[in-house]
A and B are shown apart, each in its own frame.
Chain A
Amino acid sequence: MDLTAAKETFIIESRELLEEMEHSLLELEKTSDSKDAVNAVFRAVHTIKGSSGMFGFKGIVDFTHVAENFLEKVRKGEVPINPELIADLLECHDHIQELVNIYAEGSGSVPASMVSTGNEILRKLEGHLSGEKLPEMHSEKKEPVEKKETGLSGPESSETVQNENWHISLRFNEEVLKNGLDPASFIAYLKKIGTIINLTTITDNVPPVAEMDPENCYLGFEIDFETDKTKEDIEQVFEFVENDAKIVIIPPNSSISHYKEMIENMPEESMRLGEILTSTGSLTEHELEKAMKLQIEKGDIEKPKPLGEILVEEKMVPNDVVDAALEKQKKTAVDVKKSIRIEAEKLDSLINQVGELVITVANVNQLADKNGDKELLEASSVMSRLVEEIRDSAMNVRMVQIGETFRKFERVVRDLSKNLGKKIRLEISGGDTELDKTVVEKISDPLMHIVRNAVDHGIATPEVRRNAGKPEEGIISLNAFHDMGMIIIEISDTGEGLKKEKLLNKAIEKGIVQSGQELTDKEIYNLIFEAGFSTAEKVTDVSGRGVGMDVVRKNIESLRGSVELDSVEGEGTTLRIQLPLTLAIIDGFRVGIGDASYIIPLDMVLECIEITEKDILTKRGGNFVNLRGEVLPFLRLREFFDEEGEKGSHENVIVVRYGQMKAGLVADRLLGEFQTVIKPLGKLFENVQGISGATILGSGEVALIVDVPRLVTAARKIEEEETKRTEEAFV
């Protein structure tokens, strides 16, 4: 078995569990009686302890063992849940996270300073118990352990159980019956080589009627068995079913740790299995207690081996048990997500290949067109459709929900607001909105900045809020949704809002705005995205250094997105981020201007109309068209991009929408839909206005992708200026 792979799984899963734990703790802080949340916290710690034990990560086991012990008491309701407890448990969470990181980096042991931090945290937890003591965390001392002939070596306690019988644990795979094997025949055969002293059929895993497949096997067995035969002989009984079952055979008078291992490795709850073992007399109550408490000690002083390896080597546990135990613990997580892990690199290369495929197909299409061969045309159109589907599926694989990113902010908001003495609640909606993985990754930092800003500047202290007649608790809400092929992320707060005067004065002071220059409200608010702009009266460690919002805007723009801000003084601020769903391939609409092709993202195209001279409103500049009674500003792409080449006989207007704004883009020819693989423009063209990227056409020519948001804004601006000018003319 490849343990490095398993270790990686362990680390990834531990991090997931820790995230879950953090989330549950924050949940618990809001609703202190949520049983589910307490259970989730317990489960996270319990599972991490179990898996780290399997890999011999002693530092984690030592700490989590005591923490688990404490959480068990919380679960039983013996410890009152209050904010102090949550704070300490969060510290406990952070500590486990650090421990996991230490092992993730490949370090085998925990530095002494970490051990003492761990102890401090545990003593804090102890403070929540009324007088009771938690067990001491094991120090780094290592006890020599003698190797036993029969059982497994490695982690064990020198104490053995009184049970003089063999103990056999069987858990059959669900398919065993379908494979033509019947557990009954194996157990009957077992009787031939010895005496079954006790047998308990485990029925816990038989699902409810609706989910139960009558051809599956859900049973397990705990058997106490008396025989003078060897372990091999017993193993032989189950030889045929080896691949269809989990089998653990524990020799008579084995050490308690073997039972502990078994209990941990079986699918039932530890407590329930322990109950069964004591009721059948396999273990005494006292032994069970020991088994539950037992610490996993490193076996060999010189070179400690990961437990999983030892188990497998000693054939104590079949290979798949170690995997299965990890697997099983995964299943106990609240919602079972049926998914597989793929390296991001593999996905990226898939997308690249699909991109090349799309370009090649375009080429084939064009050749088929030229050729005029009907059958070839038909085949190539079918291929186009299939490639389009492949493209969609491939893109879909990269889509992830934004919820996880949002959830990260729960802790940030909590800790920050505590720090600043504010009361803030974070509300999240639209967490299941999906967008491209790269976009999610890249938007995380700007979002973090915005959220921190909202906590620091947006929402005032409870006193200030109370004096202003507002509830003490401020709300920051995060919302995400899809709109017109874009994803919109809104961050709003019920805070102070931006002070227009202050912003304007600051801008004038910094020379960003000339005094006397007239600005709309929106323009004033959006000044905060200018470089070197910060209105915070004092620089805190949270924000206010004046680098920030301009970086946020740059980051968002580098994702082909945009950001705008709206605010009402005294009521709050809303930031709207618009982002494209994907950065790789889009459906485009191809238009021709002169000899060149341009691509307009199809999602933004509303309709296409043909215009004649009389539709054009005869205002100065003539940049308007009458669209069914609506005044639509338009922009001639030919003029905007300085294209030459022959003009068409008439002009086509492509009506595009961006946000709430509509505008027309005028082109010579409409060339139809085109699957567009976005190729970024080189550094040299970074600052070219109106172009967001390029793509390669089937013919090998390059077409530029039109930056619709920029152009719409530009067209609107011209309209506003025109209107102003005409108004002035009338005055």
Chain B
Amino acid sequence: MSVQINIAQDKGYLLIKIAGDMTIYHSIELKEKIFENIKNNNNIVIDLSGVLDMDTAGFQLLVLARKEAEREDKKLKIIGHSSAALKLFDLYGAVGFFGDKIKIPQEERENYSFAYGIKKQKVPV
């Protein structure tokens, strides 16, 4: 399995689309690609719709991106949470931390608990 990272400049924002495995096996490559692009852009969207697997290392990179955005005063949006991503977000109570809107089809709702970490929170820098 592998990971693909597509970078595209869209109307006013930079779109980083990640597909495949967001795991420790690709974490070095992921970090490099993501942050080299974030550096020079102030409006970033990360699309997770193609993510098939995510582990703590992958999740942590999103945390890093979120913190970096806070630190550097950039806008960061995460969209298209795949079920693999969402499962980890749910487990880690991280929905509020990222603060993005998440759309889940009704029939998939029961796969997640969303019992905690829903409220929007301050990102520690």
Q: A: which residues have CB within 8 A of B? A: 177-178, 182-184, 187-188, 195-201, 203-204, 206, 208-209, 212, 214-215, 217-219, 221, 272, 279-280
Contacts and interface: CB of A to CB of B under 8 A. Distances in A.
B63 interface: yes
A330 to B, nearest CB: 23
Given A196-B116, A200-B117, A209-B35, 5 more contacts: A178-B24, A182-B55, A199-B93, A201-B97, A272-B124
A713 to B, nearest CB: 63
19 contacts: A182-B55, A183-B56, A184-B59, A184-B88, A188-B91, A195-B115, A198-B115, A198-B116, A199-B117, A201-B63, A204-B124, A206-B64, A209-B31, A209-B35, A209-B68, A214-B60, A217-B57, A272-B124, A279-B121
B116 A219 contact: no
Contacts of A178: 24
A188 to B, nearest CB: 6
B85 interface: no
A206 B64 CA distance: 7
B115 A196 contact: yes
B75 interface: no
B116 A201 contact: no
Nearest to A188: B91
A188 B92 CA distance: 10
The 3 closest A-B pairs by CB, nearest first: A214-B27, A214-B31, A199-B93
Given A182-B56, A214-B27, A215-B24, A206 B92 contact: no
Contacts of A204: 124
B102 interface: no
Contacts of B93: 198-201
B61 interface: yes
Interface string B95-125: 0010000000000000001011100010110
B94 interface: yes
A214 B56 contact: no
A209 B55 contact: no
Contacts of B60: 206, 214, 217-219
A135 to B, nearest CB: 30
Q: On chain B, which size bracket covers the interface?
A: 20 to 34
Contacts of B56: 177, 182-184, 217, 219
Contacts of B68: 208-209
A197 B115 contact: yes
Given A201-B117, A208-B68, A208-B71, A219 B63 contact: yes
A206 B91 contact: no
Nearest to B92: A201
Given A177-B24, A201-B97, A187 B124 contact: no
B76 interface: no
B8 interface: no
Interface in B42-95: 55-57, 59-61, 63-64, 67-68, 71, 88, 91-94
B91 A215 contact: no
A306 to B, nearest CB: 34
A196 B117 CA distance: 11
Interface centre among A184, A187, A198, A204 (most CB of B within 10 A): A184
B116 A197 contact: yes
Contacts of B7: none
B30 interface: yes
A722 B94 CA distance: 90
Contacts of A208: 68, 71
Contacts of A206: 60, 63-64, 67
A665 to B, nearest CB: 63
A196 B90 CA distance: 11
B88 A201 contact: no
Nearest to A279: B121
Interface string B8-39: 00000000000000001001101100010000
B113 to A, nearest CB: 8
Contacts of B123: 203
Contacts of A221: 92
Contacts of B121: 279
B90 to A, nearest CB: 10
A166 to B, nearest CB: 15
A215 B61 CA distance: 10
B109 to A, nearest CB: 18
Nearest to B63: A203
A204 B66 CA distance: 12
Contacts of A196: 113, 115-116
A253 B87 CA distance: 31
Contacts of A182: 55-56
A214 B91 contact: no
Contacts of A195: 115
Contact of A187 (B30, B61, B63, B91): B91
A197 B35 CA distance: 35
Contacts of A183: 56
Contacts of B92: 184, 187, 199, 201, 221
A203 B88 contact: no
B116 A199 contact: yes
A475 B31 CA distance: 54
B64 A209 contact: yes
Contacts of B113: 196
Nearest to B58: A214
